[in-house]
Amino acid sequence: EAGVVQSPRYKIIEKKQPVAFWCNPISGHNTLYWYLQNLGQGPELLIRYENEEAVDDSQLPKDRFSAERLKGVDSTLKIQPAELGDSAVYLCASSLLDNEQFFGPGTRLTVL
Amino acid sequence: GIQVEQSPPDLILQEGANSTLRCNFSDSVNNLQWFHQNPWGQLINLFYIPSGTKQNGRLSATTVATERYSLLYISSSQTTDSGVYFCAVGGSQGNLIFGKGTKLSVKP
């Protein structure tokens, strides 16, 4: 069974530029999560989807971050414009309902 | 919100030694998972253990939900066990709330 797929694995951009991350969850998993992991910390939730619906986006900085999950499968997380403080690892996870979560390899973003 | 505390924050072992990692949480939870984050950043699922005891090879875990703690046991440690071990509990919105992790270094 294929795991959670994310791309790109690494991204380097200059501040004020836009950036997008893509996630393909495990087949059949209806719940998809985006987490942010800063260096030396545990991941923190940005947004949670159940099928196409964003059911918890309270921690998503909506002035610059946006996300979508069209057709309830793949998801894209976008930052526009990026700031220096956005440098971090962006992790996607999926689960069947509220059961065990499985994580992708993450996208390491560096903003210069 | 739920608080998750892991101890110890750092642990250095000689290859072959045993260790116990602890996770305390501040409220009742529906989900508890242990992860190993390898040097490349991948979070590897170790256990999904809201309660009870499970074993997988040299690793085992116990969660006592009524007392709000979980333990991860690593026996006969190997250098490949090095990395950061995270405990994460299920919040009211279905997301996972992570502790700060235990950084394990196993020396040959």
Q: Are strands A10-13 and B4-7 parallel, antiparallel or unpaired?
A: unpaired
Q: What is the mean pLDDT of residues B67-79?
A: 97
- Among the listed ranges A56-60, A75-79, B34-38, B70-74, which one has the minimum average pLDDT value? A56-60
Separation of alpha carbons A4 and A105, rounded Å: 8
Separation of alpha carbons B80 and A21, rounded Å: 30
Q: What is the mean pLDDT of residues A10-31?
A: 97
Q: Of B40, B45, B100, which is closest to A42 when you measure between CB atoms?
A: B100
Q: Are strands B52-56 and B59-64 parallel, antiparallel or unpaired?
A: antiparallel
A48 touches chain B (CB under 8 A): yes
Peptide bond into B108 cis (omega under 30): no
pLDDT digits (tens, 9 = 90+) for B7-16: 999 999 999 9
| pLDDT for A36 beyond 90 | yes
Percent of chain B with pLDDT over 90: 88
SS3 A72: helix
pLDDT value at residue B95:
86
A98 touches chain B (CB under 8 A): yes
What letter would DSSP give residue B40?
Answer: T
Q: What are phi and psi of A35, to 5 degrees?
A: -120, 155
Find out whether A64 and A83 touch, Cβ atoms under 8 Å.
Answer: yes
Q: Which amino acid is at A19?
A: V
pLDDT value at residue A2:
84
Q: What is the mean pLDDT of residues B24-51?
A: 94
pLDDT value at residue B91:
75
Q: What are phi and psi of A25, to 5 degrees?
A: -75, 175
Q: CB–CB of B100 and A55 under 8 A? A: no
Confidence of residue B89 (pLDDT cuts 50, 70, 90): very high
Q: CB–CB of B33 and A44 under 8 A? A: no
| pLDDT for B92 beyond 80 | no
State both tokens at B13.
């072992």
Q: CB–CB of B42 and A55 under 8 A? A: no
Q: Of B31, B86, B91, which is closest to A42 when you measure between CB atoms?
A: B86
Q: CB–CB of B40 and A99 under 8 A? A: no
pLDDT value at residue B30:
87
pLDDT digits (tens, 9 = 90+) for A47-83: 999 999 999 998 999 999 999 998 889 999 999 999 9
Find out whether A46 and A54 touch, Cβ atoms under 8 Å.
Answer: no
Q: Are strands A44-50 and A31-37 parallel, antiparallel or unpaired?
A: antiparallel
Chain A partners of B86 at a C-beta cutoff of 8 Å?
42
